[in-house]
Structure 1
């Protein structure tokens, strides 16, 4: 029997899925995930639907060895209910709190672009829910703790920001911008999290869970691309941070005084410099590739000029390319490369001069000995 919902609905958005690193195929992934989640006492009505194939999601870092591909369902759904008592929520220490909500309904769409998770807050009184985005953090930290108790080899695959930095709700009425499928939306900007309120056709007397899931389906494409763009952005950030760290560590080596430090640099720093320079090239190439692919994706998502409540969020993620950080590290490496070349030349000059003196001394001694 379909559950009828007479009040407003509140939910958070993020990316939160089980990660089975060594899953052989979809059946192996499903078997192990079902076994693990059904062993958690607070989890109920766990179900996997239409999961037939696995795809691989990159969890690596630009320019680093050992990049990891995580097998996750290519398409399908994962749903379950979870009860997290208020006392447990307080122990988790998630702020801001979420009031008296203890029941959460979790739905993950496995999408070929990127997985996306919705968590509905089931208010016991059917009233307003404050900070519904916190549901994502509460459920996430609770599941991490439960998996740790089981000593499970299953982890959680998460992409930040999870939660998405907005509180979501679905209400009867009319919003400022049309979404389609009978939905509209109003966005209120906030200092921390925004409020994104979706509205459904007010001619409907009540809102069923099917309507809420219809909204989930209507907006999942944009959110899937948001988290894909976010994963690319995270890789760019890691690459820029890694390159900055390498350049700073190399600069420290060149600041060291003394003959032993000079010899160490001359003998060992070449490999480190080349490695950092290769990482810089990789980061540059990745940034250009990301720029091209995200531009194509955005044009496909938004073929016409005009509005979308979520378009601005996606654009901001794609614009975070960290070129200033890359350029700063590249300038440091350029200076260090020049200095290293000078030191190598000086070392070679000194070495050959010393060799000349030694050879000259040896020959002089030999001639003296020969001529008696």
Structure 2
């Protein structure tokens, strides 16, 4: 095959926590895939059990357990009539035959979905079609799936189309010329030297070798951002609880503000400070890694995606509002707390005075 169209994503087959070793993971995933009638040629190749981390499941922000090196490959046939069923928003005429290749890397898995017979409208939507089809088929397996499920870290598909084609002229160095075309949707075009690569599949393998770490680290950055969003949501929830306390009417509201709002306000502020500290630290670490990565990489075309993900902080506005909420409501709480203190002191003084008078008299 001289030309290829493919999309990139981050898809991972998860198994129950009891399958927390390489052999069990491989056995369950292979059986689940081979139980799907339209899947064939399942190939799993891992270098050794030491590369399979024994970690517990920790929610949707992690793939656990998962290999940290190796490869999973299979072919799948998805009839065109099913494309709209699993992906209603898919447009264009896509192929029915796909090769799904997942490379496991130290940061996150990277999945390449390749059209075996490239269609004129081939694009990254293929990743979504394959993803949703596999999810549906695994769900249909029921108990035969043995708890296997297909997890996904977005964006999957990666926000770019990829096309590989032979070059009309020689290409020096690695034999690949990789450029981003100016289109309405980002398109990465990879031309390869036909004197160096006998087929497009060989050139594709070289492209994967040169870029898989970059894709893997991009999805690691996405995971970090998702964690920040989750932490920001926790801060926002504390702010909502604080507002609710201050809206409580009457003597009950006055009492809960005087006795509970202070602790909640401090907790909110500490959460926000912790968030800002972690984000600043992550930014420094990620920027340094990306800088080092591109010092030793000849492929620079993906760098804008990695750098944009570093600075993408959708939660900063919510975080700022939450902190301002605590600062705005704190003076009111202090006034009411001081008033409560005055009342308690006055009541206690009156009680002691009455008690002393009774003892004297």
Q: TM-score range by the shorter chain?
A: 0.7 to 0.9
What secondary structure sits across from 1:164 in the alignment?
coil
User: Are 1:17 and 2:8 matched, yes or no?
Assistant: no
Give the whole-Å Cα distance in 1 for the aligned partners of 2:233 and 2:173: 41
User: Are 1:141 and 2:132 matched, yes or no?
Assistant: yes
CA apart distance, 1:277: 2.9
Runs of 4+ aligned structure 1 residues displaced above 6 Å come to 56-59, 66-69, 304-307
- In proportion to residue count, which structure has more strand? 1
Residues 199, 59 of structure 1: alpha-carbon distance in 2 compared, 3 angstrom cutoff: farther
What secondary structure sits across from 1:81 in the alignment?
strand
- In proportion to residue count, which structure has more helix? 2
2:232: which partner in 1? 240
1:54: which partner in 2? 52
What secondary structure sits across from 1:10 in the alignment?
strand
1:163: which partner in 2? 157
Alignment of 1:176-191 (within 5 A): 181-191=174-184
Equivalent residues of 1:240, 1:283 under 8 A apart: yes
Alignment of 1:314-329 (within 5 A): 314-321=306-313, 322-329=315-322
1:285: which partner in 2? 277
What secondary structure sits across from 1:342 in the alignment?
helix
CA apart distance, 1:304: 7.3
CA apart distance, 1:351: 2.1
Residues 195, 347 of structure 1: alpha-carbon distance in 2 compared, 3 angstrom cutoff: same
Point out where structure 1 has 5 or more consecutive residues left out of the alignment. Answer: none
Equivalent residues of 1:160, 1:230 under 8 A apart: yes
User: Are 1:132 and 2:127 matched, yes or no?
Assistant: no
Partner residue of 2:300 out of 308, 313, 321: 308
Residues 60, 280 of structure 1: alpha-carbon distance in 2 compared, 3 angstrom cutoff: farther
Alignment of 1:218-237 (within 5 A): 218-237=210-229
CA apart distance, 1:356: 2.9
2:89: which partner in 1? 95
Give the whole-Å Cα distance in 1 for the aligned partners of 2:27 and 2:297: 45
Point out where structure 2 has 5 or more consecutive residues left out of the alignment. Answer: none
The Cα offsets for residues 292-324 of structure 1, whole Å up to 9 and x where unpaired, read as: 211221121112799711111110000113444
Instruction: Please say which of residues 215-224 and 102-111 is displaced more in the overlay.
Output: 215-224
Give the whole-Å Cα distance in 1 for the aligned partners of 2:274 and 2:138: 36
Equivalent residues of 2:83, 2:129 under 8 A apart: yes
Give the whole-Å Cα distance in 2 for the aligned partners of 1:328 and 1:30: 47
What secondary structure sits across from 1:279 in the alignment?
helix
Give the whole-Å Cα distance in 2 for the aligned partners of 1:134 and 1:67: 23
Equivalent residues of 1:12, 1:163 under 8 A apart: yes
User: Are 1:38 and 2:39 matched, yes or no?
Assistant: no
CA apart distance, 1:140: 1.1
User: Are 1:273 and 2:265 matched, yes or no?
Assistant: yes
Equivalent residues of 2:34, 2:40 under 8 A apart: yes
Equivalenced residue count is: 353
